[in-house]
Amino acid sequence: MALRKVRNNLDRLFDKNLTDLIRGIRNNKENEAKYIAACMEEIKAELRQESSFVKANAVEKLAYLQMLGYDISWAAFNIIEVMASTRFNEKRIGYMAATQCFTTDNDALIMMTTNMIRKDLQSTNLYDVGTALSGLACFATPDLARDLVNDVVNLLSSSRVYVRKKAVLVLYKIFLKYPESLRPTFPRLKDKLEDPDPGVQSAAVNVICELARKNPRNYLFLEKMFFKLMNTSSNNWMLIKIIKLFGSLVPLEAKLGKKLLEPLTNLINSTSAMSLLYECINTVIAVLISISSEFPGDFTASIQLCVQKLGVLIEDSDQNLKYLGLLAMGRILQTHPKAVQAHKDIVLRCLDDKDESIRLRALDLLYGMVSRKNIMEIVKKLMEHVDLAEGSFYRDELLAKIIEICSHNNYQYINNFEWYISVLVEMTKVEGSKHGVKIAEQIQDVTVRVQSIRHFSVSQMALLVENAHLLLSGNAAQRNNVSEVLLAAAWICGEYSEHVRDVVGVLESMLRIKMSLVPGALLSIYIQTITKLYSVLLTKHEKENDWDAVESLDNLILSKLPEFEYTDHLEAQERACNLIQILKFIEKQHASRTKMGDAFAMLFEGELNPVAAKAQKRVPVPEGLDLDAYIYEPEPDSELSESESEPDVSFPTMTAQSPIYDASEPSYPSPKQSKKSKKAEQASQYVSTEESRRQRQLDIDSNPYYVKSDKKAPTATKKTSNVNSRGGMNRSESLLTAAAELQSPLEIPGVIGLDRYLKQQSSTMSWKTAKSEREKSKKGKRKGKKKRTQSSSDEGGDPVVVHHVNRDDGEMPEGAISTDEENEGKNGRPGLSDEFKALDMDLDMPLRADETLFVPQPYHRPEEVDLYTLPTSRPAQAVPTVQNGEKKVKKLKKKAKQPAEKPKKKTKPAVEKTEKPRKRIKSEKSVELNYTSISSTGKPSKEAAANAAELIVAEPATTSANGAVSHVSRLQSLGQNGDLSVFGKVDAVITSGPDETTEVKGVALIKFKNRGNDVLRRLELSVYETDRITLDTSAGVIDSTSIKLPFELTPKSINEHTLHLKFAAVDQSQKLKVTLMYCVEKADGIATEDQINFNLTIPAIRFLVYATIGATSYAFILANDDLACASEKAASTQPLKAVIDEITGASNFSVVEFHDSAVSLYAHSATDAPVCVLVKKLDAETYGVSVKCSDSELAKSVSNDLKDLVEAHEEAQNGQLS
């Protein structure tokens, strides 16, 4: 036996501790995995040992390994064991490991810990509670939150600041996990906003701020309270949170914003803390946004102030401030673009910044800087950046931004659309851009909207189509982009074929397209365009009666088109088949010299107009149409693959005979479009309508011609790479009419890129800006090209041309419903995760009856059971019971310490309060950090000092409002003689001292009533202090033996005096002997001295603190055998209810359970230890009172007090009766 012990000790000596492990890992860098595997084995062995020390050590090592990324979830049970340790150090290790590795996956394990955590939360050891709270914040699960919310809420009234603060913050986590707890708990949380400790206030603000950001509406009613806090607090950390909180409330209540402007402006002007300044500006911006809609007024001063301050930030050399300045500026821009324009130059300079994030933010601002005058200049600059940009992300952002700027508000800023088309063409050539779709959309949109540009646009597009093979010679990603643009180009050539100069050339180049290179969608558009161009040529030739030309045209197409029949894109294939059949028919007709041209051209008659983005949604559903009903019953699994690829989307450009609505379609082409409506689709065979929707959505997304709502088209992922165009060179040369001297990659003769366009302009016009920029930006790539190879100079030369732009929103279908419903989306509040949706509730509404916090189900006590006998099915046997012996020792130690600490404490609160502002300023100076001025007050220190002074005055009131104080006790007669009678009462106030210790103070109110007919003068109290009760000298009394009362008692008058007391021991009833000396001045002038002695009794129950507890937890506490117990019998005939009312009225006990003949009560002692009481009606005339708590002295005193209380009550009642 002894031998084994020795061996164990030796083993322990050789055990690896954490330091050894870390060192070992560092020394075994080459075979770390192996080393750690070996360590894991050791740890497993250690965990099997009995010693809790060894286990804790092992768990600590595991926690380290976990941090390095090793899985330690297998050790969860051991971790719980260590968490349950009674040694704080081990417990801490256990909790730390738990916070790191417990996930919701080991839910069952966490459930096991519920009772253990509850025990720690109820522990008298401050640090046990703190550790448990920190842990709970990390691994709270819905179950855990539900079971423990009561305990955490109880801690809100803890006398210790440290615990209160933690409990407040943990509540947030609990709300998230168990939203039902929010409403019942919120009043308690709200109270914490007025906590005497600023730290606790700040914590409460943090929590509410976080809650309000997600559901601001629920917290509007707290507005006043926050105003008060904002005006009184000088803690910048808290101010930031309050102001942020206002920022989220403001959008809901413009009035609030108006009130905020002034204080915020003051703060902006006075604070030196950048973080606070930034937050203020942000909130002011939010105010301005909300206000501008509701109160039209002049807020230029505020805007100017913000913009000016932001300008300072942006110009700062600190990148962080620059970034934030730009960010906030972006928000102002949304409502007050003009204000921002003053900073155009700085913003443009930021585009050259080295940091990409700054450049991106500057980009965001650009569209506010753009005007009709400078747009070309700015875009020019951006294009330069596109060329320089490293990294495709930034390049893509740039391209997107250019398009955004130019298309802003239906091309508001664009004068010269030829220039814009040139820009777009130029952008097509940018490597690996992801914006093919957008560019294509723009080209189409501009061409449709601006009639006068069509000629130029078509000529450019025709060139693009003719040189498609060149453009398509890049890599796959590049090809995708080009295809998108070609798609638009081909469509434009077809739609506005009257502007195409070389129709045959375009037609031929389309027929020659390499089908393997391009996507099917492009082919189907090609076929469409071929049809249109064919129609044009046909009409022309027939008019001239040139039958040879007609035949050769027919032949040309019929010989090439069959290739299209073999494409794997179904739509293209189908269209090709259709067209061939039609052409064959026409050819036959031609054989008999019948003219078909006019009839054929009918297919494409009519003007195409822009369609409003919302048009599709607004098409009213015809009456009697059920969109969800099957047209016919789906066949199981039939031809799914076939039907999937069949597009059931209507294409405006498809040929069709009549605009028949397909009933299976939830959406129609708008009436205008349907002039070229789709052919009637057969009813779909989808397995389910759901699936068909999804499928349709996919189609919609992939089809650029679909009238999209605001949804962005998905962009394919592409990568940059070099473009090699050499392959297609030979063929192109033969084709090109305009001679190209030197070909650079992707350079197409005739296509006017941006540079060339500007060059052209400068040669004809004197465009200073354009010229100077051209000079700067000449790229090596373009140097070779000097010669103008432009084809459409007839119209392109004049930039002053006022283009008529169709800037309407677009056409709407007839019978479309009015505008209101669009807002649907906004009300649904997208982006709010479920987690927070659950927290959206009205907090101001009174609680419903069923809304109570989860209290573990009370157990049912059998009728005839002895006091405190517990049911055998006690919860969680596995949980170790409280080690009470140790606890007691600690407590005793603490008590012994307390008196010694007293003198220090006495003067502290007052001193600390006034000192604070000074301290803060000091810390500001000592901390050398750019933004560290956050800890400065931002307010003149005088004001802060005044605030502090105010607080001191208000202190007694606030503490008493805070629940830490006992109930108001009743006045009792203390004694009387012939001259006067004395009444008095004592209330105990439990406060926490500055260093987390508990202090018990008391206020004794003594009333004196003059019974005689003479005046009583020179009243003087002398108090006999004991080592248990002393006078609280901080209240200003110095000599306890002679307290002169500042009044006289005239005959029959009453006056009162308060004594401030301090209690050193609170575990028993206290008596304080007081003598009142006075002088009776008879009417005849003779004065006699007299005195009266009386005792102030302070029963032990006065020292109890109000606390509530669930029945299960209550049982759990009682299960502890180590608790001291004391019982008394009290004679009373009063009903149980009356007795209990009397007790709860006179003391701080809360009722845990109320049975027919017994009631259990609960309270905390001054040191936060639980005190349990059972009052039982033994027979008609006797009550049994049993008290259980950890302190036998306290138990005895409390039971005695209760006995006295009950009996006194009985007497009083009887007295009344008789």
Partner 1 sequence: MIRFILIQNRAGKTRLAKWYMHFDDDEKQKLIEEVHAVVTVRDARHTNFVEFRNFKIVYRRYAGLYFCICVDIMDNNLYYLEAIHNFVEVLNEYFHNVCELDLVFNFYKVYTVVDEMFLAGEVRETSQTKVLKQLMTLTSLE
Residues 101-130 touching partner 1, rule: CB under 8 A, are 103-104, 127
Minimum distance, C-beta of residue 326 to partner 1, in the bound complex (Å): 10
Closest Cα to residue 1063, out of 1041, 1092, 1039, 1030?
A: 1030
Residues 199-258 touching partner 1, rule: CB under 8 A, are 199, 203, 206-207, 210, 213, 235, 237, 240, 244
Minimum distance, C-beta of residue 143 to partner 1, in the bound complex (Å): 14
Q: Which of 935, 947, 1112, 1147 touches partner 1 by CB under 8 A?
A: 935
Tell me which stretch binds partner 1 (CB under 8 A): 703-711, 779-787, 897-905, 923-931.
Answer: 923-931
Where is 238: in which H helix or E strand?
Answer: helix 236-249
Minimum distance, C-beta of residue 76 to partner 1, in the bound complex (Å): 13
275 binds partner 1 (CB under 8 A): yes
C-alpha separations of 118 from 105, 154, 323, 907, 1079 in Å: 21, 11, 47, 36, 60
Minimum distance, C-beta of residue 311 to partner 1, in the bound complex (Å): 18
C-alpha separations of 1103 from 155, 217, 947 in Å: 18, 42, 32
Q: Which of 932, 976, 1144, 1150 touches partner 1 by CB under 8 A?
A: 932
589 binds partner 1 (CB under 8 A): no
Q: Which of 9, 89, 638, 709 touches partner 1 by CB under 8 A?
A: 89
Minimum distance, C-beta of residue 492 to partner 1, in the bound complex (Å): 38
State which residue, 92 or 435, has the beta carbon closest to partner 1: 92
State which residue, 167 or 572, has the beta carbon closest to partner 1: 167
Cβ 1125 vs Cβ 1188: under 8 Å: yes
Minimum distance, C-beta of residue 240 to partner 1, in the bound complex (Å): 5
Q: Give alpha helix (H) positions in 295-391.
A: 300-315, 319-335, 337-341, 344-350, 356-369, 375-388
133 binds partner 1 (CB under 8 A): yes
State which residue, 142 or 956, has the beta carbon closest to partner 1: 142
Q: Which of 6, 7, 31, 88 touches partner 1 by CB under 8 A?
A: 88
**At 196, which amino acid appears?**
P
Minimum distance, C-beta of residue 14 to partner 1, in the bound complex (Å): 20
Q: Which of 39, 40, 148, 169 touches partner 1 by CB under 8 A?
A: 169
883 binds partner 1 (CB under 8 A): no
Minimum distance, C-beta of residue 995 to partner 1, in the bound complex (Å): 8
Residues 408-467 touching partner 1, rule: CB under 8 A, are none
State which residue, 313 or 340, has the beta carbon closest to partner 1: 313
Tokens encoding 1156: 């027919």
State which residue, 18 or 348, has the beta carbon closest to partner 1: 18
Using a 10 angstrom Cβ sphere, with 0-12 exposed, 13-18 middle and 19 or more buried, the burial of residue 95 is: buried
322 binds partner 1 (CB under 8 A): yes
The total number of residues written for the chain in this structure: 1218
Q: Which of 58, 82, 324, 1043 touches partner 1 by CB under 8 A?
A: 324
Q: Which residues pair with 1182 in a beta bridge?
A: 1131, 1179
**At 850, which amino acid appears?**
D
- Per-residue contact track with partner 1, 984 to 1013, x per CB under 8 A? -----------x------------------
Contacts of 370 (CB under 8 A, 6+ apart): 378, 405, 408, 413
Task: Give the C-alpha separation, 492 to 444, whole Å.
Answer: 7
1175 binds partner 1 (CB under 8 A): no
Cβ 1170 vs Cβ 1148: under 8 Å: no
Minimum distance, C-beta of residue 874 to partner 1, in the bound complex (Å): 31
Tell me which stretch binds partner 1 (CB under 8 A): 223-231, 317-325, 678-686, 1199-1207.
Answer: 317-325
State which residue, 84 or 934, has the beta carbon closest to partner 1: 934
Q: Which of 923, 1050, 1053, 1088 touches partner 1 by CB under 8 A?
A: 923
Minimum distance, C-beta of residue 949 to partner 1, in the bound complex (Å): 21
- Per-residue contact track with partner 1, 40 to 79, x per CB under 8 A? --------------------x--xx--xxx-x-x------
- Per-residue contact track with partner 1, 353 to 392, x per CB under 8 A? -xx-xx----------------------------------
State which residue, 67 or 845, has the beta carbon closest to partner 1: 67
Minimum distance, C-beta of residue 716 to partner 1, in the bound complex (Å): 22
320 binds partner 1 (CB under 8 A): yes
Q: Residue 46 has what DSSP assignment?
A: H
* Helix/strand/coil (H/E/C) assignment for every residue in 939-970: CCHHHHHHHHHHHHHHHHHHHHCCCCECCCCC
170 binds partner 1 (CB under 8 A): yes
State which residue, 271 or 667, has the beta carbon closest to partner 1: 271
The number of C-alpha atoms within 13 Å of 231 and in the hemisphere containing its C-beta is: 9
22 binds partner 1 (CB under 8 A): yes
Using a 10 angstrom Cβ sphere, with 0-12 exposed, 13-18 middle and 19 or more buried, the burial of residue 941 is: middle
Minimum distance, C-beta of residue 274 to partner 1, in the bound complex (Å): 6
Task: Give the C-alpha separation, 866 to 1066, whole Å.
Answer: 29
Using a 10 angstrom Cβ sphere, with 0-12 exposed, 13-18 middle and 19 or more buried, the burial of residue 384 is: middle
β-strand 972-976 against 980-992: which pairing, if any?
antiparallel
Q: Give alpha helix (H) positions in 715-790.
A: 729-735, 754-764, 768-777, 780-783
- Helices 319-335, 274-294: axis angle to 10 degrees equals 10
Q: With H, G, I as helix, E, B as strand and everything else as coil, classify residue 665.
A: coil
Sheet with 1054-1063, edge to edge strand ranges = 972-976, 980-992, 998-1010, 1054-1063, 1029-1031
560 binds partner 1 (CB under 8 A): no
How far from each other are the two terminal CA atoms of the chain, in whole angstroms?
A: 76
Task: Give the C-alpha separation, 553 to 560, whole Å.
Answer: 11
Report CA torsion sign: 682, 686, 689, 695.
negative
Tell me which stretch binds partner 1 (CB under 8 A): 15-23, 636-644, 936-944, 1009-1017.
Answer: 15-23
Chain-centroid distance, C-alpha 1018:
67
Tell me which stretch binds partner 1 (CB under 8 A): 322-330, 377-385, 645-653, 851-859.
Answer: 322-330
Residues 147-166 touching partner 1, rule: CB under 8 A, are 162, 165-166
Task: DSSP for 973-989, please give it.
Answer: EEEE-SSEEEEEEEEEE
Size of the site for partner 1 (CB under 8 A): 65
Q: Which of 178, 186, 219, 278 touches partner 1 by CB under 8 A?
A: 278
β-strand 1150-1154 against 1054-1063: which pairing, if any?
unpaired
Q: Which of 323, 1094, 1116, 1149 touches partner 1 by CB under 8 A?
A: 323
User: Rg for the chain (alpha carbons), in Å?
Assistant: 43
Tokens encoding 559: 């010989």
State which residue, 794 or 912, has the beta carbon closest to partner 1: 912
Minimum distance, C-beta of residue 842 to partner 1, in the bound complex (Å): 23
**At 727, which amino acid appears?**
G
644 binds partner 1 (CB under 8 A): no
Contacts of 962 (CB under 8 A, 6+ apart): 157, 191, 194, 195, 196
**Which parts of this chain interact with partner 1 (CB under 8 A)?**
18-19, 22, 60, 63-64, 67-69, 71, 73, 88-89, 92-93, 96, 99-100, 103-104, 127, 131, 133-134, 137-138, 162, 165-166, 169-170, 172-173, 199, 203, 206-207, 210, 213, 235, 237, 240, 244, 274-275, 278-279, 282, 319-320, 322-324, 354-355, 357-358, 923, 927, 929, 931-932, 934-935, 995
